[in-house]
Copies of this chain bind each other. A is one copy, B any other.
C-alpha cells in the first residue's frame, strides 16, 4: 500500500492536504492502513508535528510574555534596535495564522519606528519550525479551496513585508530553522547563526514547493547545483554549510553566540541611520520588481500544491512509512 501511495493518484474526489480532518475523505484513506481512523489521524498529526516541529494540536499556545499587545511575539526597542522574538518556544516557534499576522504587523511597525536596525530571533531552543500544521486543520465554510486561497494570500503578504522592508533586517538564528523560516533568509541583510542551527526545507517530502523568493534567491546566492539539493531534494544544512554557501553571514560557537552577536548589533545600531537605510534600499531596489513577481508565482504554485492529490498522498505516504516502523 505504501507503493500505491507513492506511485499513483487515488480516486477520491479532490483529496487534499488541507482537509485531512474531513471525515468523508478519510474513509478512502482508512483502507490503506490497519490503524483506525482516529489512530491514523493522531499518528498523522504526530508525524507532521515532528516533521515541522510542532506538537499535538488543539491546545492554544500560551505565550510566555508579550509586548505591544502581541500574543505570539516579544517585541522591544532598545539601543536603536527593534527586536522581534518568535515566542512560542513550547511549539518550537511554529508559525500560526495569528503569528503570521502579528509578524506582518510587527515588521510594519519596525520599518516605521526610529530604530536603526531590526532583528528577528527565536525564544528557546528553536529559531522556527516553519508552518504550524494547525493552520490547515480549521476548514472554513468555503471549504479547502477557500482555506488554500486565504493561506496563500497570507503567505504572499508575509513575504511582501520582507521584500519591502526599508532598513537593515538581521536574523539571529538561535537554533534549527525549518521551511519558510529558512527560505526567507535570502531576504535578510545579515544572518548570524549559532553552530547549533540547522537549515531544512523539506518541501518535496511533503509534496509542496518553495516560497519566500527562495526559488530565485537561493540559486542566486549559492548556484543552482547547491540550491536544488536543498529546495528539491530536502538536504538539511549545518550552520557551517549554510555559511559556506552564503545563506549565513557568520557562525558563532553556542557558548559565545549571544554576547558576540549583540555586541556587533549594538555597534551597527550606532551607525548613521539614513546611510544604512538608503544603502540597503539601493541594494534591494534593483531586484524588487522581480522579487514581487517571484513571490506571486511561488504562492500561486503552492496553492495548487495544497489542493493537489499528490500533496495529500505525500503526507499519507510519510505517515504510512512511519506507522510501519
Interface residues of A, Cβ cutoff 8 Å to B? 6, 168, 185-186, 188-191, 203-205, 207-210, 215-217, 219-229, 231-234, 245-250, 264, 268, 270-276, 278-280, 282-283, 285-286, 290, 293-294, 297-298, 301, 304-305, 308, 310-311, 313-314
How many copies of the shown chain assemble into the complex? 3
- 14 A-B interface contacts by CB (under 8 A): A168-B233, A188-B225, A189-B224, A189-B232, A203-B275, A204-B272, A204-B279, A219-B220, A220-B223, A225-B248, A225-B249, A226-B249, A228-B283, A271-B314
- A225–B209 touching, CB < 8 Å: no
Cα distance A19–B185 in the bound complex, in angstroms: 41
Most buried by B among A204, A293, A305, A314: A204
Kindly identify which residue among B185, B204, B227, B280 contacts A232, using a CB–CB cutoff of 8 Å: B280
A190: B residues at CB distance < 8 A: 225, 228-229, 232-233
A215: B residues at CB distance < 8 A: 279, 282-283, 286
User: Known contacts A221-B224, A233-B264, A285-B297; can you find 19 more A-B pairs with CB under 8 A?
Assistant: A168-B233, A190-B228, A190-B229, A204-B279, A207-B272, A207-B274, A209-B275, A209-B282, A210-B279, A215-B282, A219-B283, A223-B247, A227-B283, A232-B268, A271-B314, A272-B310, A272-B314, A273-B310, A279-B301
A232: B residues at CB distance < 8 A: 168, 189-190, 268, 276, 279-280
Interface of A is mostly: helix
- B271–A205 touching, CB < 8 Å: yes
**Distance to closest chain B CB from A289 (angstroms):** 12
**Distance to closest chain B CB from A63 (angstroms):** 30
**Distance to closest chain B CB from A304 (angstroms):** 8
- B224–A188 touching, CB < 8 Å: yes
Kindly identify which residue among B222, B231, B245, B274 contacts A283, using a CB–CB cutoff of 8 Å: B231
- A246–B245 touching, CB < 8 Å: yes
**Distance to closest chain B CB from A228 (angstroms):** 4
A264: B residues at CB distance < 8 A: 233
Cα distance A114–B23 in the bound complex, in angstroms: 32
Given A227-B283, A228-B189, A283-B227, are A207 and B290 also a contact pair (CB < 8 Å)?
Answer: no
A283: B residues at CB distance < 8 A: 210, 215-216, 219, 224, 227-228, 231
A217: B residues at CB distance < 8 A: 224
A209: B residues at CB distance < 8 A: 275, 278-279, 282
- Can you list the 8 inter-chain pairs with the closest CB atoms, starting with the nearest? A223-B246, A221-B223, A189-B228, A225-B249, A209-B279, A204-B275, A207-B272, A272-B314
**Distance to closest chain B CB from A149 (angstroms):** 18
**Distance to closest chain B CB from A88 (angstroms):** 26
